[in-house]
Structure 1
Amino acid sequence: MDRNDRAVVGLATVGHASVHTFELAIPLFIPLWLAEFQRLDLGVAAVPFDAAVAGVLVTVGYGLFGVGALPGGVLADRVGSKRLIVASLFGMSASFVVLAAAPSVLAVGAALACWGVAASVYHPAGLSMLSRAATERGRAFAYHGIAGNLGIALGPFVVAVALVVADWRTVALALAAPILVVAALATRIDVDERAAVGSDGDGQSHEATASDGGAEIDSETTDSGGADRTSSVESFADFRVGSRELFVGGFALIFPVVVASGLYYRGILTFLPEVLSTYDAFAAIAVGDLSLETYRYAYAGLLAVGVVGQYAGGRVSDHVRPERALAPAFLGLAVLAVLFLPAVALGVGPFLVLGGLLGVALFFVQPLYQAAVADHTPPGTRGLSYGYTYLGVFGVGALGGAVAGGILEYANAAALFATLGAVALAGAVAAFTLARRGG
């Protein structure tokens, strides 16, 4: 990687790790908020602050996290990715400063909503910057994914340990402080956001995505859905035109793929700790005066091995057209969904094998569909395309958690995993169709 690649990847990886660390710290604070606050005062009325109200407040923040990705993508094309990433870092950390000082439940909800807005713009901005600026795009996507996994796996662990020695307000400040410093330093970083996008004598855009030894992929040789748009989205009319171009081309088939990935991801992870806790193999272990809830560590471990999947998916996308790898990857997720519960029932050993494979496969698909979006969309609407992508992953995909909860409430875990297998099969069909069209 050259200097520009290193700067781009460094900024994006810090941003990605920060987003997921903040995201997964919030659930650990909820029990403490329930113990500290008694009522939600809305001015004209007050309601008891219980788990249902807390769930609504958190849902607002997480919902904005997904919905805001689409306008975030438009902004990434219009004002530039670096500015948006820096603003996201400042916004997320400032929201946690406000959260630490929140005197009421309403203030907590406002802080979470602000965090959701600030966090929502990161993914379309970060990914569009990597796709347009990194000459070794597959490797850049892989490092970016690894950083996100480190935030997912290590963030909750660090917060849990910190809460042993400090209250939640101090921990929230401790999370915000280093990110504020990073955001300030990031304002001084100089990056060329279009280093991997050149132009020929006809003024047409070409996107270099050369791997270590693979062939270069030209954005004009892929299905970008019409004109090779090189200008950014500057108005609502551009938004309409850009959206139409995306959804009449290859992106129309990529979108169901990313929705399937989001539904599977939220569906399997939201209630996985609860599912594991019902098995004797993951019963609590007493260590002195402490009780170690082993299912929590099993869950964190599954997330941690996702680092391997992120890196492998990124490297595969450097050497194989990503849509060709997506279909078998989703088929693998379908098989793992069917085999997972029988493996857990057999004990810790089989879980380590199947859980490890599931963790790798779950994150293997992410750099592949990120690269597929870049291959099948023109550079000028790359931010818009990633906005739609993460609207699908985090917005529509968030329904996976609600679906999982309903199935567990009215059926059982076996029905949930069968449903997740069907979702993965639908993703495989969409990916196979995309691969045939691309061929």
Structure 2
Amino acid sequence: MLAHGAVHTYEMAVPLFVVIWLDQFDTIALGVAQFDVTRATVGVIVTLGYGLFGLGALPGGIVVDRIGSRRLISACLLGMGLSYILLGLAPNMVVVALALVLWGASASVYHPAGLSLISKGVEERGTGLAYHGIAGNLGIGLGPLIAAVLLLFVQWRTVALVLGAPAIVAAVYASQANFDETAAVDAEAAADGGSAGGSKADSGVDSLGEFLTESRRLLAGSFVLVFVVVMCSGLYYRGVLTFLPELLQDLPGFAPIPVDQLLPAGVSSALGVEAGGGQELNPEDYFYSGLLLVGVLGQYAGGKLTDRVPVEYGIAGAFGVLAVLALLFVPVSNAGLVPLMALGAVLGVFLFVVQPLYQATVAEYTPSGTRGLSYGFTYLGVFGVGALGGTIAGGILAFADATALFLTLAGFAVVGSLLGVVLGRRATA
């Protein structure tokens, strides 16, 4: 839970720094070549970190099957903490890029390691996934909110240093923790007479040949449909969130609010906020954070549902609701602030209801021996392929409008829902 919250805190804090980097740095010096700091070049640098976050999940899944989750999660926490310390000390954009690359490589191993640990070590898997998801959502929502508040009063480098320190402390704790990583698998094996998996690989893959064999084994069965489901989730998630603040800022009720107008004169003076100093609260950022925080309820509900309903039909229903919400978003946003806030709350819940459901589905459709590899593929789909959701959203908004964007997102959700129905029928056939 500590690691999951940290991963998403760091992930969602980066966009808050981008605006500052564009203003503070002028050039990117690479020895023989020099580039201006623009949205395009900063976008490439940020993509390096986010890209590794998704692409590293697959090799991370292979490694976790070989060395176990505890050591990998400890290394993940240490790497992420050091990356933000390096970010806080960065004198130029080259070091910023190095820090983001270190963060992406470190964070990429978390999901296969953490989810493999829960799926093999926790007997009440759905409840474990629920609490795990809640921690992630607290990072997603509170992380950028805390960073945004801190940025009102201190420099961005100080914020990065403050954010980096807890992960290093957590890494020390994780390295000393002692627990049985396979408690649930051992229980399943005892119940099944000593067999808890259907794959040749009982403890991961040892070679490229085994990796290819186990990958073919996974993708030749129903897991390939689960893989498409998680891609739909990633595309919808990135597609709806990447440009949400920008879409909101032009709506009534989202005009910037000067900070000095919100605070009593004495408090403003104590905090160093000067009248007319230009410090402003952007309501769309706090709407965005609130939507992500509401996702805590979705994570908990989704986790509990995995213990009570067939996960395939849970996926079908949750994606069905996401499709309806996408179709309603534009007309509701034009109806006023209160209806939009209500829809945003429901959207925040169902964006995250699907996550424990597909995480549990992966465990249902894969052998325990290659569970890390399975979650590696899962988060390659969610964060790797899913990262294209932001590109798709940007392209649609550049050449069409928000209505076209949300119709496209509804299409992703419909595909996910239909695949849930297909998986459910196969399971009962």
TM range (shorter): over 0.9
Identity %, equivalent residues: 55
Residues 1:351 and 1:320: Cα distance change in structure 2 (over 3 Å) = same
Query: For each residue in 1:364-383, what CA deviation from the matched residue of structure 2 results, as whole angstroms up to 9, or x when unmatched?
Result: 00000000000110000000
| Higher alpha-carbon deviation: 390-399 or 226-235 | 226-235
Q: Distance in 2 between matches of 1:285 and 1:43?
A: 43
Query: For each residue in 1:203-238, what CA deviation from the matched residue of structure 2 results, as whole angstroms up to 9, or x when unmatched?
Result: 7433xxxxxxxxxxxxx6xxxxx6464232222122
- 1:4 is aligned to none
Identify unmatched segments of 5+ residues in structure 2: 262-274
Identify unmatched segments of 5+ residues in structure 1: 1-12, 207-219, 221-225
- 2:93 is aligned to 105
1:44 pairs with one of 32, 48, 54? 32
Does 2:421 align with 1:432?
yes
- 1:180 is aligned to 168
Q: Contact conserved, 2:3 with 2:170, CA < 8 A, in 1?
A: no
Q: Distance in 1 between matches of 2:240 and 2:83?
A: 29
Q: Distance in 1 between matches of 2:399 and 2:194?
A: 56
The one-letter code sitting in structure 2 at the alignment partner of 1:66 is G
| Higher alpha-carbon deviation: 262-271 or 48-57 | 48-57
1:205 pairs with one of 176, 195, 203? 195
Shift of 1:291: 3.6
Q: SS at the partner of 2:334?
A: helix
Does 2:115 align with 1:143?
no
Does 2:228 align with 1:256?
yes
Q: SS at the partner of 1:40?
A: strand
- 1:159 is aligned to 147
Q: SS at the partner of 1:196?
A: helix
Shift of 1:201: 9.6
Q: SS at the partner of 1:143?
A: helix
Shift of 1:98: 1.4
Q: Contact conserved, 2:319 with 2:416, CA < 8 A, in 1?
A: yes
| Higher alpha-carbon deviation: 323-332 or 84-93 | 323-332
- 1:129 is aligned to 117
Q: Contact conserved, 2:133 with 2:296, CA < 8 A, in 1?
A: yes
Q: SS at the partner of 2:35?
A: strand
Does 2:274 align with 1:284?
no
The one-letter code sitting in structure 2 at the alignment partner of 1:405 is G
Does 2:51 align with 1:79?
no
Residues 1:279 and 1:238: Cα distance change in structure 2 (over 3 Å) = same
Provide TM-score, normalisation by structure 2: 0.92
Shift of 1:77: 0.4
Q: Distance in 1 between matches of 2:91 and 2:253?
A: 42
Q: Distance in 2 between matches of 1:118 and 1:343?
A: 40
Does 2:298 align with 1:326?
no
Q: Contact conserved, 1:73 with 1:125, CA < 8 A, in 2?
A: yes
Q: SS at the partner of 2:178?
A: coil
Aligned-pair Cα RMSD in Å: 1.5
Q: SS at the partner of 2:183?
A: coil
Aligned length: 409
- 2:206 is aligned to 234
Query: For each residue in 1:82-115, what CA deviation from the matched residue of structure 2 results, as whole angstroms up to 9, or x when unmatched?
Result: 1100000000111111112222211111111111
Shift of 1:185: 1.7
Shift of 1:243: 0.7
Q: Distance in 1 between matches of 2:124 and 2:100?
A: 36
1:376 pairs with one of 361, 365, 370? 365
Query: For each residue in 1:353-397, what CA deviation from the matched residue of structure 2 results, as whole angstroms up to 9, or x when unmatched?
Result: 211111111100000000000011000000000000000000000
Does 2:343 align with 1:354?
yes
Q: Distance in 2 between matches of 1:203 and 1:46?
A: 65
Residues 1:418 and 1:332: Cα distance change in structure 2 (over 3 Å) = same
Q: Distance in 2 between matches of 1:268 and 1:410?
A: 17
Q: Distance in 1 between matches of 2:128 and 2:8?
A: 18
- 2:102 is aligned to 114
Does 2:237 align with 1:265?
yes
Residues 1:35 and 1:285: Cα distance change in structure 2 (over 3 Å) = closer
Shift of 1:121: 0.3
Q: Distance in 2 between matches of 1:95 and 1:205?
A: 42
Q: SS at the partner of 1:193?
A: coil
Q: Distance in 2 between matches of 1:153 and 1:202?
A: 41
Q: Distance in 2 between matches of 1:293 and 1:169?
A: 21
Q: Contact conserved, 1:228 with 1:378, CA < 8 A, in 2?
A: no
